[in-house]
Amino acid sequence: MLLIAGIIPIADLPLIEGKVEKNGGFLSVNGNDIPPTQGTAAMISAALEVSSFLDIEPPHVVLAGDIGNGKGSRLIYRYLIENLESLSARVLALHYCLPIIQLMKQLVAVVDKCGTRPVLIADAASMYAAKAAGLAGKFDIFTPDASEIAFLADPEAEHPAYISRHLFETDSSRVPELIKKAYANNAAARLLLVKGECDYIALEGNIIASVNEPDIPEIECIGGTGDTITGMLSAFVHAGYPMEQAALISARANRFAGQMAEANPATLVGELIRYLPEVFKDKLDSWVEKT
């Protein structure tokens, strides 16, 4: 099972757990329709496109409404802490939520107790909580963007809002240095997929691949395009692809979807997600052969 956990920006959405399906333009979980917008919903949408294309089990999700006060986030943490062992997830991807250090510590302790330890992936504030809790090394995959790799590289920053000025101003060509610093700080997962002008994939401290074509700078403006990469990566890992290959495919697919959608800064993420099946159809076999 691929289990994705995160908040949805619907204040009164209760905690829901179940298989995700498409329902017209929406995601549907236990009869709850969720718009596939920026955040965890975009991540799930991209993962669902991968599982549909590969004809494998769709993602299973744990979601709750939260518009910032942390109530839904706490419900998700507690549900996972109490139920993760019995859910038997093969991949657990943690996403948007309020970063709460002690709850993240409890959750990772439960992950360690699972009979078969799930592949553990974090993006968004789940990644911030993992770093703040000193647990980055327990994670298999982080998917930071350029500012978030600066955050991981900064030993004093509790949140990206506190990264040092010189790291924020670091030129994108120096991202490899930040990756090394993040590993040196024990603030990196085993594999990093750093999303940016050039996407870097690093494994256990070493950069093993980079992706910079097609070059579509406008993608940075589009809310949710980092989420789609994390969603695809989670689904490909769940499908059995090696982590490094899954990362490479996901970074490439996002760029090609942007190209097909003729992305501009006003494009919405749903317009890119729509092109993912076409990208997989055109490119996936050749990418798999070459990696």
Partner 1 sequence: MYEVFWDKVKNRLNSSGDKLAGDVHGGFEANGIVIFNVLEDAIKAEKIVKGNGLECKLVAPPPALRKGCDLAVAINLVEKPLLERILSDAVPYVHILPLEGSRELLQIVKVQYYEKHIMVKAANMKITYDKQSGRIVNTSGGGCPDIPYLHLQFLGKKLTEVPYPKDISYTLCALMLDRALEECISLWKREEIECCS
Q: Which residues of the chain form contacts with partner 1 (CB under 8 A)? A: 7-9, 11, 37-41, 66-70, 72-73, 95-102, 105, 123-128, 132-133, 145, 147-148, 151, 156-165, 168-169, 217-218, 220-226, 264-268
Nearer to partner 1, 58 or 65 (CB): 65
3-state secondary structure of 277: helix
The pair phi, psi for residue 29, each rounded to 5°, is -130, 115
49/66 with CB nearer partner 1: 66
**Residue (205 or 223) nearer to partner 1, CB:** 223
Q: Please check whether residue 76 is in contact with residue 19, taking contact to mean a CB–CB distance below 8 angstroms.
A: no
Looking at the chain, which runs of residues are DSSP E strands? 2-8, 16-23, 26-29, 32-34, 60-65, 91-94, 119-122, 141-142, 191-194, 199-203, 206-211
Task: Give the 3-state secondary structure of residue 190.
Answer: coil
Taking the complex as a whole, the smallest distance from the CB of residue 236 to partner 1 amounts, in Å, to: 22
Nearer to partner 1, 64 or 253 (CB): 64
| CB 46 to partner 1: min, Å | 15
Query: Are 59 and 4 spatial neighbours (Cβ–Cβ below 8 Å)?
Result: yes
For partner 1, which is the closer residue by CB, 13 or 247? 13
Tokens of 34: 């969720």
CB of 160 to partner 1, least distance (A): 4
Instruction: Name the minimum Å distance from CB 173 to partner 1.
Output: 15
CB atoms within 10 A of CB 247: 31
**Distance in Å, CB of 118 to partner 1, minimum:** 21
Specify the residue, 113 or 159, whose C-beta has the smaller distance to partner 1: 159
Sign for the pseudo-dihedral over CA of 83, 84, 90, 91: positive
User: In the bound complex, what is the minimum distance in angstroms from residue 29's beta carbon to partner 1?
Assistant: 16
46 and 53 in contact (C-beta within 8 Å)?
no
For helices 225-238 and 243-260, give the axis angle rounded to 10 degrees: 140
- C-alpha count within 13 angstroms, C-beta hemisphere, residue 130: 34
Shortest Cβ distance from residue 278 to partner 1 (Å)? 23
Please check whether residue 94 is in contact with residue 126, taking contact to mean a CB–CB distance below 8 angstroms. yes
Nearer to partner 1, 6 or 241 (CB): 6
Q: Which is nearer to partner 1, 218 or 282 (CB)?
A: 218
The Cα 140–Cα 188 span in angstroms is 9
- Determine the 3-state secondary structure of 118 from DSSP: coil
* Distance in Å, CB of 237 to partner 1, minimum: 20
